[in-house]
Amino acid sequence: MSLTIMGPWRCWRVSAWGRSLVVVITVGEAASRVGRTPETVRRWIRSGRLPASRDRGRLLLDAGDVDTVRDELYPMLPLPKEWQRLEDGTPAPNWVAAVALSRSGR
């Protein structure tokens, strides 16, 4: 049994095994994150490439799943070990995707 509690920009999924914070985004937000149209994201959901859930009629996607697809679309060469984490300990972003998506509006 699981229960979903919605809030702005995040979703708590509470289950029998505990709770976890999952950041969920809409189809439009996912489309802008990967540089594709919302219809393409919906097609990926229908084909099973991206898992999604419905809440009050809206499709919601796990932000981590969307980032995984973005990393598949914009592959990056392996980074040296000292570049894999930022100074605060967070993983380094996909720089290839950042540059490609920043140029897509030109």
pLDDT tens per residue, range 48-92:
999 999 988 889 999 999 999 999 999 999 999 999 999 999 999
Number of structural domains in the chain = 2
25, 52 Cβ separation under 8 angstroms: no
70, 33 Cβ separation under 8 angstroms: yes
Q: 22 and 56: one domain?
A: yes
Determine the structural domain holding residue 7 and report its residue range: 2-73
Q: 37 and 86: one domain?
A: no
Element (H or E) spanning 52, and its range? Answer: strand 52-55
Please tell me the distance from the alpha carbon of residue 49 to that of residue 8, in angstroms, as a whole number.
25
Q: 15 and 47: one domain?
A: yes
Please tell me the distance from the alpha carbon of residue 50 to that of residue 61, in angstroms, as a whole number.
8
**Which of 4-13, 33-42, 76-85 shows the lowest mean pLDDT across its residues?**
4-13
Residue 17 pLDDT exceeds 80: no
93, 33 Cβ separation under 8 angstroms: no
